[in-house]
Amino acid sequence: MAKYRVLLVDDQREVRLALRSAIESLEFEIEVVDVPSGEEALLVLSSGSFDLLISDVRLPGITGLELLNKIKKLESEIKIILMTGLMDSEIRQEVADAGAAAFFLKPLDIADFLDAVERCLGLVDEPIFGGETLALEEPVESIADRLTGLRKEMNAISAVLLDGRGRVLARAGDLPDASVETALFPALMTAFSASEKVAHLLRTSPPSDLMYFAGSKYDIFLAHVGEAYALLVAANPSGSSNQVHESIKLVHTGLRDLLTILAHMGVPIKSGDQLPLPEIEVPEEVLVVEPEIEALFQEAESTDLDFEEVDAFWDTASMRLKDEEITNADALTYEQARRLGLTPEDGGGKAE
């Protein structure tokens, strides 16, 4: 039987698996039981005692704070670590009043998290943060600051935050050719949407992806920021696989920071709950969507489209264009003439 027992509560399966693996990597006899809700945690606790509870604050049903208060009445000696993806002053005060041993903002720093686990279980001699809740610094960067920083770190041409429809919410730097951007962004968002479908089939939520497109003038990195937003970085062409690998690491760090900033701002990151971002203070080099483009988006949103009719229109237009190209007698190419039977037959014969 394990010497220590830990109960882990989080509604995201991927988070539970990652934290469970991290805790089990410690060189101690630790049994980890993970459940997706506070109600199930109470049921598990009723059948046995635990040394440590680790819970997300935001849970379906009863919250992590409510769970903490209920468990304290059942097992007054149990140590509790809380974590959340949304940080504000009210939650900070509630956690402090509740008496949690430690409090972490997602995404977690695994080294600090495991250190807290060891201290809570008494595996190290030092006290648990002096008996006080772990103090966390507020994120100091804005979205614009982080995009500007990422652009400088990667020596990139542009770093852009897009919503699920491909609209620019904030950016640092421009692509060399603005006309290319108008065609490039919608094409990339098609890949973005396909990636979300793949993630759904793989039961990964939010999507965990990073797409890389190598180009002659610049490379493109595209990744989900939660479910609702996309990070797009246009970087100078990579000279080696090592350079690509380093760029990928920097993009991953940027994604983590953007998620933290969005959570701190209280912005939903699920595709179904997508909301406009609060006003963002941006440096001079950071641009936003032009009013004329924004007006076009709003007009499109208010127009009901029959997508079958739209597809039929483009199919018809494509066939018409193809016919016009072939029947233009003043500008026939050899291939067009061959298709019309106007070229010598194979073998050197002449057409009748």
What is the bridge-based pairing of β-strands 102-105 and 211-213? unpaired
What is the token pair recorded at 37? 């809700």
Residue 28 tokens read as 């101690």
pTM of the model: 0.42
Residues sharing a CB contact under 8 Å with residue 220, sequence separation 6 or more, in sequence order: 184, 188, 211, 212, 213, 232, 233, 234, 235
| Alpha-carbon distances, residue 198 vs 190, 205, 306 (angstroms) | 13, 11, 26
pLDDT value at residue 278: 39
Q: What parts of the chain have a pLDDT lower than 50?
A: 128-140, 272-289, 324-329, 347-352
pLDDT, tens digit, 9 for 90 and up, residues 278-328: 333 344 444 444 555 556 556 655 656 566 666 666 666 556 555 544 444
H or E stretch covering 220: strand 219-225
Q: What's the CA gap between 60 and 63, in Å, rounded?
A: 7
- Tokens matching residue 53: 């509870």
Domains of the chain: 4-131 (3.40.50.2300), 143-301 (3.30.450.30), 305-352 (no CATH)
Residues with Cβ within 8 Å of residue 248, at least 6 apart in sequence: 210, 212, 221
